[in-house]
Amino acid sequence: MIWMLVALSGVAGIRPPGTGQDAMAGMTAMSSAGPSIPVLAVSGLVAACCAAAALPWAARAVGPGVRVADTAAAGQAAMSAGMAAMLIVML
């Protein structure tokens, strides 16, 4: 996620704190400038990888019926799905 913050701040021309600029003024500059194509492409690929990684973990976690057979696998599936959802929302 650090690469995304650096890329977006570089594209938006946000100056570092302490240069006489308000921190919230930088956020308005970032919201007005859309992310670049490489940022969108990499974010989309990472989101797809996270979603794909959640599938085998979810299959391993589900037991017979609607029971959770492996709680560690269920946690990993939830974490991967959550990361994919967060990246998709940030697009």
Domain boundaries, given as residue ranges, for the chain: 1-34, 35-91
The pLDDT score that the predictor gives to residue 54 is 92
Q: To which residue do tokens 């959770």 refer?
A: 68
CA distance 62 to 68: 5
pTM: 0.57
Inter-residue contact 87 to 46 (CB < 8 Å): yes
pLDDT given at position 22: 54
pLDDT tens for 38-69 read 888 888 898 899 899 999 999 999 888 778 88
pLDDT band at 8 (very low <50, low <70, confident <90, very high): low
CB 11 within 8 A of CB 39: yes
- The predicted model gives 70-85 an average pLDDT of 90
How many residues would you count in the chain? 91
pLDDT at 24: 55
Token pair in block for residue 4: 């995304």
